[in-house]
């Protein structure tokens, strides 16, 4: 019998748009805890692969949605990335600053159980759209490490350059990684020449792109592939990895 989730109350304290898409903007929502009593709050040191559930009553029904929390700069805070759909129940409800929302954490899914420190020697990340969230979660934690041990490759697919989420954060993570993080962008629609600030590949995430982007896969003993994105994209990547000969033990599909 599964244990019932415990929800804790957090306050929405800020929001900002983090992409340039006019059709489907992505907003960064920052939450801070309401209660100061430690009994009313879990430890906010979120682990890679961990996600939370946010619950709210909307139009007479209880709505629960899952999001990836990323450690905030302020103590006892975290933020999430949410794509705003015109008729999205939760995304359009997460608007009023100072509103409070019950949240519940889940177990981590990106910890290496065969390693003493839980780290991988190599981590290959394939994502699309808001599927970048757990990958940014990994980067946020890695920034705190003085001696980075995990070599990371990030393959990030979007329809066009305006869909890239928090490009400033991505550039800063890559810059500060001291060569331990390599980001490769994939666009279905090539960027205009005047806005072409990123090196990129054109098309969709195929076996050729994966092989060319991750040429050293398997050179380390403890290696993992993490995949996150829209359902159709994840199914396609899963099939591609299977066709390439990867077993289900070698990759993980994140929500």
CA distance 13 to 10: 9
Q: What's the chain's Rg over C-alpha atoms?
A: 18
Q: Is 65 annotated as a binding residue?
A: yes
Is residue 230 within a helix (H) or strand (E), and if so which, with residue range? none
Closest CA to 126 of 237, 249, 250: 237
The number of C-alpha atoms within 13 Å of 43 and in the hemisphere containing its C-beta is 4
The helix/strand/coil state of 119 is coil
**Do 128 and 158 contact (CB within 8 A), yes or no?**
yes
**Do 35 and 45 contact (CB within 8 A), yes or no?**
no
Q: Is 152 annotated as a binding residue?
A: no
The helix/strand/coil state of 2 is coil
Q: Is 85 annotated as a binding residue?
A: no
Q: Is 90 annotated as a binding residue?
A: yes
CA distance 161 to 190: 8
CA distance 49 to 109: 5
Q: Is 8 annotated as a binding residue?
A: no
Strand partners, 57: 62
Known binding positions: 65, 67, 83, 90-91
Known binding positions for FAD: 65, 67, 83, 90-91
């Amino acid at each position: 019998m599964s244990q019932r989730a415990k929800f804790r109350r957090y306050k929405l304290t800020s929001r900002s748009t983090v992409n340039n898409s006019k059709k489907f903007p992505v907003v960064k929502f920052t939450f801070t805890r309401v209660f100061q009593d430690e009994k009313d709050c879990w430890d906010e040191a979120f682990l890679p692969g961990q996600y939370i559930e946010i619950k709210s009553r909307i139009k007479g029904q209880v709505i629960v949605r899952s999001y990836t929390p990323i450690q905030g700069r302020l103590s006892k805070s975290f933020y999430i990335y949410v794509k705003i759909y015109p008729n999205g129940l939760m995304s359009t409800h997460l608007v009023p600053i100072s509103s409070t929302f019950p949240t519940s954490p889940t177990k981590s899914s990106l910890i290496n159980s065969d390693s003493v420190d839980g780290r991988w020697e190599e981590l290959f990340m394939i994502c699309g759209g808001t599927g970048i969230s757990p990958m940014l979660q990994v980067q946020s934690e890695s920034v705190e490490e003085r001696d980075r041990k995990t070599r990371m490759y990030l393959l990030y697919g979007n329809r066009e350059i305006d869909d890239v989420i928090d490009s400033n954060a991505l550039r800063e993570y890559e810059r500060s990684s001291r060569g331990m993080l390599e980001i490769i962008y994939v666009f279905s629609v090539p960027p205009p020449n005047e806005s072409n600030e990123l090196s990129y590949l054109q098309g969709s995430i195929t076996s050729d792109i994966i092989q060319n982007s991750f040429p050293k896969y398997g050179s380390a003993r403890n290696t993992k592939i993490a995949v996150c994105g829209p359902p159709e994209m994840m199914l396609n990547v899963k099939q591609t990895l299977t066709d390439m000969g990867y077993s289900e033990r070698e990759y993980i599909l994140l929500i």
